[in-house]
Amino acid sequence: MRLLLDTCTFLWIIADASPLSRRARDLFRAADSEVFLSAVSAWEITIKESLGRLPLPDDVERFIPEMREAHGIVSLPIDEESALHVSRLPHLHRDPFDRLLVSQAIVHGLAILTPDPLVTQYPARTIW
């Protein structure tokens, strides 16, 4: 299965945190899963860290790639098709990061691992 991690899901996976659902954890760990972290999430984490809202144990420029690689997560760049697809989404969610994640999932045929009830209302496959 091809999975796109929501930003919070990525953070919970690398911290092995309890908010992560059993199903999400199992799918993430499944040998046949290909797991992606969008550059959108890296951008969101960077912004929150710079505002002091998300303390990290290391410099963000090292932390994100090191954690991604340590957990076998592939980087997904932001592409023009996904960025333009945002215009086709209904205005259910005001968060631009989540809207772009939804677009990337639709354009690239990925399922989003997310607990966000607003994201589940979009025409993208979501799992939690």
- CATH number, domain with residue 43: 3.40.50.1010
pLDDT at 41: 98
Task: Report pLDDT digits (tens) over 106-116.
Answer: 999 999 999 99
Average confidence (pLDDT) over 37-64: 96
pLDDT-based confidence at residue 20 (cuts at 50, 70, 90): very high
Question: Rounded distance, CA 73 to CA 117, Å?
Answer: 24
**Structural domain total, the chain:** 1
CA angle 93, 9, 122 (to 5 degrees): 30
pLDDT band at 14 (very low <50, low <70, confident <90, very high): very high
- Is pLDDT at 93 greater than 90 in this prediction? no
Residue 112, strand partner residues: 4, 126
For the chain, percent helix, then strand, then coil, each to nearest 5?
50, 15, 35
pLDDT of residue 10: 98
Q: What is the DSSP string of 46-61?
A: HHHHHTTSS--SS-HH
CA distances from 45 to 42, 78, 85, 89 (A): 5, 15, 23, 23
Domain containing residue 123: 2-127
